[in-house]
Amino acid sequence: MPNVVIYGESSVDKAAVINLIAGQKKAWTSSDILGRIFRHRRYEVTIEGTQYNLWDTAGLDDRNEGAVPLAQAENDLKEFIRQMASSGGISLLLYCIRPTRVRRALKWNHDIFYAAICRKKVPVVLVITGLEYQPVNMETWWVDNERVLAKHGMRFDAHVCATTLDTSHPTIQERLNRSQSSLRGLITTYCRLPPWRVDESLSALAWPMVDGILRSGLQLDRAAPRTVIVCDMAALGVELVPGITPSWKKFTGTIHDQQYKFIRVDTLTLQTTSKLESIGDLLIFYTAASSDTGIAAEDVKALQSFYAIAGGQLCPLIVVVRGCDSQQAAERCWSDVVAYHGDIKAIPTFVPGSHGPNAAPEKYLMEMVGRYCLDQVEVRSPKLPKALKAGRHLFAEANTGMRSLFARNHQESFCLVSETDFSSHKDIKQAAR
């Protein structure tokens, strides 16, 4: 049964959204989850004959900064991830907000669920409620605010401008019906795809960033370069940034004032390496496709190896398909791969095979790099860097490791990497106290 996680500030009536989707009163707002950000409640709903789990989670708001009981939050996070792991993973995120200006808590909730927990591996839909009296039509709110949200690093796979107000007024009732139809349609569409499989050890990876937000908030560290690991099976030589040549191995460049370190993985590395020394914040895999056979079997095999050795399960992956002339064509090629390899979660895009009006995809790809690359953050808590440093030391001794969560305070950079459940290691837990 697909899992849909619904999150947002504590002041947003997420229960009303669940009831709208269900078409009946199933959920209610209860004081037993208020103030406990990862406390959750599951509701089963049926849409067009298919059952779904809707998970209502408690939210964080501005007045929670520094006031959330951290030990309880960590335990609730572990239980939430355990539930997701045991029930098949996460198919979709619904981020519910009110039509308001961008505040700190709006960004905090988004970063906690989409980036820290779900590693930007799960599609996210923004649901703006309370638009029953929006002038002209509900969609005008999105037109006016999309750029503002993107400026603050909040981009979404889809959005629904909605109302949950059930009234006899014909205009509002029509908006209510449209809201329900849009939400159900998006849930049905995104849940057809394989879910992102969650491992219980994810809590050890997610907690340091969550801890920093709950203590005092986190800021992006623009000075620290992001690491992008590229596997170029199609030998494209596409210029991600000016100066990259077809024979490059390592390269540092800038996209929109943010520095990136690009590392190239070749076929020999895929065949002889069990894991990479470098840890990426984003993976990019280039391949080619033909109109007859799609993506070649050998490229799919190489992608599986790249996904495994580069930690693709916990790192965003962009698959660039050469030979497709549209995004829709790339998605069709990728769907053929997903049909047999649903464990690989990726965002497909395209590079046209010949010159033409769509034959310069570098700008679009650069935008994708900026959106999907995991962020490094400044840690303002004096205690958190100690936990991160302990995690880095432990990783150096570990036999396996899949991903990293980078953080930086004003003096030193630290890194926590884990495939193992670090909760049993006292040095990390004590450092975070």
Calculate the alpha carbon distances from 20 to 33, 116, 129, 164, 169 in Å: 21, 28, 11, 6, 17
Q: Which CATH class is domain 226-372?
A: alpha beta
Q: What is the pLDDT, as a whole number, of residue 245? A: 59
| pTM for the predicted model, two decimal places | 0.83
Q: Is the alpha carbon torsion for 100, 105, 108, 114 positive or negative?
A: negative
**CA–CA–CA angle 369, 320, 370 (5° rounding):** 5
Determine the topology of domain 3-200 in CATH.
Rossmann fold (3.40.50)
Q: What is the pLDDT of residue 425?
A: 38
How far is residue 19's CA from residue 179's CA, in Å, rounded to a whole number? 12
Q: Are 57 and 37 in contact (CB under 8 A)?
A: yes
Do residues 325 and 291 touch, judged by C-beta distance below 8 A? no
What pLDDT, on the 0 to 100 scale, is given for residue 211? 86
Closest CA to 228 of 280, 191, 279: 280
The whole-number pLDDT of residue 350 equals 86
Give domain limits for the chain.
3-200, 226-372, 378-431
Nearest to 74 by CA among 43, 48, 37: 37
Nearest CA among 80, 371, 107, 374 for reference residue 217: 107
SS (H, E, C) the chain: CCEEEEEECCCCCHHHHHHHHHCCCCCCCCCCCCCCCCCEEEEEEEECCEEEEEEEECCCCHHHCCCCCHHHHHHHHHHHHHHHHHCCCECEEEEEECCCCCCHHHHHHHHHHHHHHCCCCCCEEEEECCCCCCCCCCCHHHHHHHHHHHHCCCCCCEEEECCCCCCCCHHHHHHHHHHHHHHHHHHHHHCCCCCECCCCCHHHHHHHHHHHHHHHCCEECCCCCEEEEEEECCCCCCCCCCCCCCCCCEEEEEECCEEEEEEEECHHHHHHCCCCCCCCCEEEEEEEEECCCEECHHHHHHHHHHHHHCCHHHCCEEEEEECCCCHHHHHHHHHHHHCCCCCCCCEEEEECCCCCCCCCCHHHHHHHHHHHCCCCEECCCCCHHHHHHHHHHHHHHCCCCCCEEEEECCCCEEEEECCCCHHHCHHHHHHCC
Q: Which residues contact 248 (CB under 8 A, 6 or more apart)?
A: 262, 264
Closest C-alpha to 381, from 341, 431, 421, 426? 431
Cβ contact 403:417 at 8 Å: yes
Q: How far apart are CA 11 and CA 253, in angstroms?
A: 42
Task: State pLDDT tens for residues 168-198.
Answer: 999 999 999 999 999 999 999 999 999 999 8
Q: What is the pLDDT of residue 431?
A: 43
pLDDT at 116: 92
pLDDT at 427: 44
Give residue 268's pLDDT.
79
Residues in the chain, pLDDT under 50: 355-359, 384, 387-433
Q: Is 193 exposed, middle or buried (0-12, 13-18, 19+ CB in 10 A)?
A: middle
Distance, C-alpha 280 to centroid of its chain:
15
